[in-house]
Structure 1
Amino acid sequence: MSINETKSLVVKMHPSDNALVALVDLEKGKEVTFEGQNYILKDNVKAKHKFYTTDLKTGDEVMMYGVLVGKAQYDIPQGSLMTTDNLKHAADPYAYRKVDYQWKSPDVSKFENRTFMGYKRKDGSVGTANYWIFIPTVFCENRNLDVIKEALHNQLGYAVSGKYNQFAHDLLTAFKNGEDLASANIHLNPNPKSNRVFKNIDGIKFLNHQGGCGGNRQDSETLSKLLASYANHPNVVGVTLLSLGCQHLQIKNFVADLKVQNPNFDKPLYVFEQQQMVSEEELIAQAIKSTFIGLSEANNIERTPQPLHYLNVGVKCGGSDGFSGVSANPAVGYTADLVVALGGKVLLAEFPELCGVEQNMIDRCQSEESANKFIRLMEEYDEQAHRVGSGFFMNPSPGNIKDGLITDAIKSAGAAKKGGTSPVVDVLDYTELATKPGLNLVCTPGNDVEATTGQASSGANLILFTTGLGTPTGNPICPVIKVATNTVLATKMKDIIDIDCGSVIRGEKTIPEMGEDILEFCIKVASGEILPKSVQLNQDDFIPWKRGVSL
């Protein structure tokens, strides 16, 4: 990546690129000098957007990040703005080729003897949090979970709705007193202080979903594996399972999948089947009582110092913009390389957003088996999308396009940067557990919540989530750290953003410096010293993937 150091107007992502990214708004007619060449802009080019550095003929290839990202739709003069009209998605074909990929790992000397305060489990895994989870085997139990959640969250100090309850109460009082609500002096006060009963229980989480019955049996089988992986997750200390009784996803199926994941599973598991109970009231009361007892025992578990190689970091982007591949994603990628060099795991997911960089991923695979598995999963996924009239090329959202991501290949090439540069040690299908230290590719959709749900199921105990437009996405059991690509976003949405990478855009910090800062933040989160904004907000997003077409 090359930045114009004198004026910091533009950036070139790779020497072979024939487009530059604007770091600030540039006006039509402005002369931009970069690496000894002058460019006269034919259009206004807003920050995050691109302009062409050469004259292009119809069909000419456009390169960014060193890969093909699209083809010109008509003759385009140098200095023109890149748009969805003049550029359409294109990507190079890919295949396995035996490559001796060489990786130069970053300097990790300042982190080598560091630890984080984690929860060591009996099976040897280490959690960054201590959660009790409620699992419904079928959507029919969602209402019962909602009732239990309201009771336990309010009584045990995990609710975050206190300030809104008070706000609504004040409005109601004003209404009853005949006050004009539009002009009433009623304000939303900050959250009341936490009054948690169990200090070593970081939360009680509820995995409401819409599956378990209906659909097809494969959906229920996949859901069972997903729920089992959450029960087995190192951030989970105990499980309460609610079942109706007649659904596709039977309790025995869930237990069998749990034993496959961990034959020695020994966490508290309380199971209640509604059709075997006298009443709904008895079901809820017994579930609450048993869980309360389990919580009181689990509260005795405390954090202890753990080596950084127990970090398992999912890397994800959502609400991406034209700066995602310039600042936040490369910075998170450097963090990923640090984690790998320290012996930890990194999970790069969202396969639709690897479209266009497949060859790079294949060449980095340590085994031919992993490379072929990646090729198979990508081809099956894309073929399924094409069967319904879609494809990976339809991935960018309106928000992505508005802020500079014109084709899926551009979005993908920037998105892949958050995985760093280390070799790919394994390729995992959805719900498969990561067992090998290093960079793992995990097959999930690009959809924010479906992807983070899948990353947690593969064992991520932290997720770094980059965003240029802003999104509140979180996860019930895996702390999600939100990393902004730009300072405008970090300032505007400071209630959901944890880290600001705008200093990279301004040239105040290098990618390695920002990457090290992010790892320092991760260590504090893993130790419970800092609660990411998504955790503070109880942003417990959980959407199982049914393996249908989701980009």
Structure 2
Amino acid sequence: MINSNVKKTALLNDNDNVVLALEDIPRDSRLSSGHLVANVNVPRGHKVAIAPIKKGAAVVKYAQVIGFASMDIEPGDHVHTHNCAVEDFDRDYAFGSGLTGAHTRPVTEERTFKGFLRESGEVGTRNFIGIITSVNCSATVARLIADKISKSGLLEKYPNVDGVVPLIHGAGCCIKSDGEGYQNLQRTLVGYASHPNFAAVLIVGLGCEVMQISRLMDEAGLTENQSFRKLIIQDEGGTRKTVEAGASIIESMLPAAAACQRTDVPIAHLTVALQCGGSDGYSGITANPALGVAADMLVAAGGTVVLSETPEVYGAEHLLTRRAASREVGEKLVSLIHWWENYAAKNGGEMDNNPTPGNKLGGLTTIFEKSLGAIAKAGTSPLNGVYNYSEKITAKGFVFMDGPGYDPCAITGQVASGSNVICFTTGRGSVFGYKPAPSIKLATNTDMYLKMEEDMDIDCGDIISEQVSLEDKGRQILDLIIAVASGEQTKSELNGLGDHEFVPWQLGAQM
């Protein structure tokens, strides 16, 4: 017997052969689009076929290929991992063909935020003191220094200092001293050491590691001064002496750090890391495109937005190359895609190992589908640059930074590259923080927002439930970015998150 209750679905493009379930659809329910009946139970956020799809034929969503039918699919069938799979297909990169005036958003008003203007000319959104480790062997000592300062009560005398952050990691030794892994880590450490969200930095090493602090300083042009100091545990005489020396150094840095004051600066000084994690079937139609609107607004005002996670643009990279400001920029992105294909194969993996189990439970079937939703975060602005992991970003506008799909690792690179705010969309829920950069959480659906409201900053589910426009939601997101950049705390900051998500990308043989 057919259930006469009509269930809401969304046809995202007239060329699609699937629709998105906007609510749980019981078997035999009628669909609001396609004039069909569901052949099986279909969870919210998943897909339903609205046309016959023969085995081997393309499954199309967003007017793009998201996979290929692994068996015949009938109208009304649930389309997911049991009948849709990834196969190679040709993509037309059409470098720069999508650059039109339609992608340039006019600036309607000059906006500012209250940031910390540093001597370098860069602007911080926070005012931390950092303790960076060159190697895992100095990790505990760095944490002990931070703990000693925290427990001493000193920070209470300096309310303008946001805190002392120990940045510890699991690398730094027994790697090739001129290999990819070394270069990645060195760029990351240098990027954090010079990050504008730090008023001062202490770097701590053991002394015998491959990642020698003296070499790092020489190659990066860093010199010791009031705001940058180093300590070597073996030179200081062990744990206790290094902790005492480190605490003394931090204490000496505090007055100058506390003297830093916020001042009004143009939002062109904002560099926003665009991220998604725990994505679901709603990500590509709510939070991600809304963040894309905010990204375009910021770019129009002279700011910078940074997309990353190269495996999560796989299958959608041809849409980004169309926006490449030059053929060189587009070809660099394609070369990264090929590097990742080889990297996955070399390590016995596949590009479709991403999506995760949580992504699939939320309705995402293939990496192609996930990528098409993920790139919506970057709006429609021209792609002005493609950078290596943690490489210093010098171009303005929309840029791309290479990195893995593992969120803490990718965001570590984005912060090292200069991002001073993070916008993180999530459908399943995420509780990360990324000191020294504040992390804004955008929920893709209202149910999850209400369930995890203490961790979510904005509900984007009302784009579906209340028909809020992407334009209005994008303005709300940009308003919050500016408020957070000016000092308003995010939910992750209020929860005390962000001390343990410093995860440099480790590459190469660990010997």
Q: Please classify the TM superposition score into its range, dividing by the shorter chain length.
A: over 0.9
1:28 is aligned to 27
Deviation track 1:154-175 (CA, whole Å, cap 9, x = no partner) reads 33487xxxxxxxxxxxxxxxxx
TM-score (norm 2): 0.94
| Alignment CA distance shift 1:41-1:8 (3 Å) | closer
Q: Secondary structure at the match of 1:338?
A: helix
Q: Tell me, in whole angstroms, the C-alpha distance in 1 between the residues paired with 2:494 and 2:167.
A: 15
Q: Tell me, in whole angstroms, the C-alpha distance in 2 between the residues paired with 1:22 and 1:337.
A: 29
Q: Secondary structure at the match of 1:146?
A: helix
Equivalent position to 2:75, from 74, 78, 101: 78
2:220 is aligned to 258
* Maintained 8 Å contact 2:442/2:459: yes
Equivalent position to 2:168, from 208, 211, 228: 208
Equivalent position to 2:190, from 228, 246, 258: 228
Equivalent pairs counted in the alignment come to 500
* Maintained 8 Å contact 1:94/1:359: yes
Q: Give the CA deviation at 1:74.
A: 1.2
Q: Structure 1 stretch 15-24 or stretch 525-534: which is displaced more? A: 525-534
Q: Which amino acid aligns with 1:74?
A: M
Q: Tell me, in whole angstroms, the C-alpha distance in 2 between the residues paired with 1:428 and 1:265.
A: 28
| Alignment CA distance shift 1:426-1:535 (3 Å) | farther
Equivalent position to 1:331, from 290, 299, 313: 290
Q: Give the CA deviation at 1:266.
A: 6.5
Q: Tell me, in whole angstroms, the C-alpha distance in 2 between the residues paired with 1:29 and 1:291.
A: 67
- Tell whether 2:84 aligns with 1:124: no
* Maintained 8 Å contact 1:145/1:206: yes
Q: Tell me, in whole angstroms, the C-alpha distance in 2 between the residues paired with 1:265 and 1:118.
A: 25
Q: Secondary structure at the match of 1:39?
A: coil
Segments of 5+ residues of structure 1 without an aligned counterpart are 1-6, 159-195
Q: Tell me, in whole angstroms, the C-alpha distance in 1 between the residues paired with 2:407 and 2:254.
A: 31
Q: Tell me, in whole angstroms, the C-alpha distance in 1 between the residues paired with 2:122 and 2:315.
A: 35
| Alignment CA distance shift 1:212-1:99 (3 Å) | closer
Q: Tell me, in whole angstroms, the C-alpha distance in 2 between the residues paired with 1:265 and 1:307.
A: 31
1:197 is aligned to 157
| Alignment CA distance shift 1:531-1:507 (3 Å) | closer
Equivalent position to 1:285, from 226, 244, 248: 244
| Alignment CA distance shift 1:486-1:157 (3 Å) | farther
Q: Tell me, in whole angstroms, the C-alpha distance in 1 between the residues paired with 2:292 and 2:401.
A: 16
1:150 is aligned to 147
Q: Tell me, in whole angstroms, the C-alpha distance in 2 between the residues paired with 1:32 and 1:59.
A: 25
* Maintained 8 Å contact 1:137/1:249: yes
Q: Which amino acid aligns with 1:53?
A: I
Structure 1 runs (4+) greater than 4 angstroms displaced = 105-110, 263-267
2:3 is aligned to none
Deviation track 1:185-222 (CA, whole Å, cap 9, x = no partner) reads xxxxxxxxxxx331211121111011111233322332
Q: Secondary structure at the match of 1:359?
A: helix
Q: Which amino acid aligns with 1:374?
A: L
* Maintained 8 Å contact 1:333/1:421: yes
2:433 is aligned to 474
Q: Give the CA deviation at 1:273.
A: 1.0
Q: Tell me, in whole angstroms, the C-alpha distance in 1 between the residues paired with 2:87 and 2:370.
A: 12
* Maintained 8 Å contact 2:433/2:498: yes
Q: Which amino acid aligns with 1:255?
A: M
* Maintained 8 Å contact 2:96/2:326: no
Segments of 5+ residues of structure 2 without an aligned counterpart are 1-5
| Alignment CA distance shift 1:157-1:33 (3 Å) | farther
Deviation track 1:228-283 (CA, whole Å, cap 9, x = no partner) reads 01111111111111111111011122213432xxx799761111111112343221
Q: Which amino acid aligns with 1:22?
A: A
1:301-316 alignment, distance < 5 Å: 301-316=260-275
2:10 is aligned to 11
- Tell whether 2:421 aligns with 1:462: yes
* Maintained 8 Å contact 2:7/2:30: no
Deviation track 1:38-60 (CA, whole Å, cap 9, x = no partner) reads 11111111211110110111111
| Alignment CA distance shift 1:458-1:41 (3 Å) | same
Q: Tell me, in whole angstroms, the C-alpha distance in 2 between the residues paired with 1:9 and 1:224.
A: 51
Q: Which amino acid aligns with 2:157?
A: V
Q: Which amino acid aligns with 2:382?
A: P
Q: Tell me, in whole angstroms, the C-alpha distance in 2 between the residues paired with 1:301 and 1:105.
A: 38
2:315 is aligned to 356
Deviation track 1:473-527 (CA, whole Å, cap 9, x = no partner) reads 1212111111111111111112221111111121331111111001101111000
* Maintained 8 Å contact 2:96/2:325: no
Deviation track 1:357-390 (CA, whole Å, cap 9, x = no partner) reads 1111111101111111111111011111012221
Q: Which amino acid aligns with 1:509?
A: V
Q: Tell me, in whole angstroms, the C-alpha distance in 1 between the residues paired with 2:313 and 2:50.
A: 25
- Tell whether 2:397 aligns with 1:438: yes
Q: Which amino acid aligns with 1:102?
A: T
Q: Give the CA deviation at 1:415.
A: 0.9
Q: Give the CA deviation at 1:95.
A: 5.4
Instruction: Quote the sequence identity (%).
Output: 33
Deviation track 1:330-379 (CA, whole Å, cap 9, x = no partner) reads 11111111111111000000000001111111111011111111111110
1:375-414 alignment, distance < 5 Å: 375-414=334-373
Q: Which amino acid aligns with 1:118?
A: G
Equivalent position to 1:66, from 63, 66, 72: 63
Q: Secondary structure at the match of 2:116?
A: strand
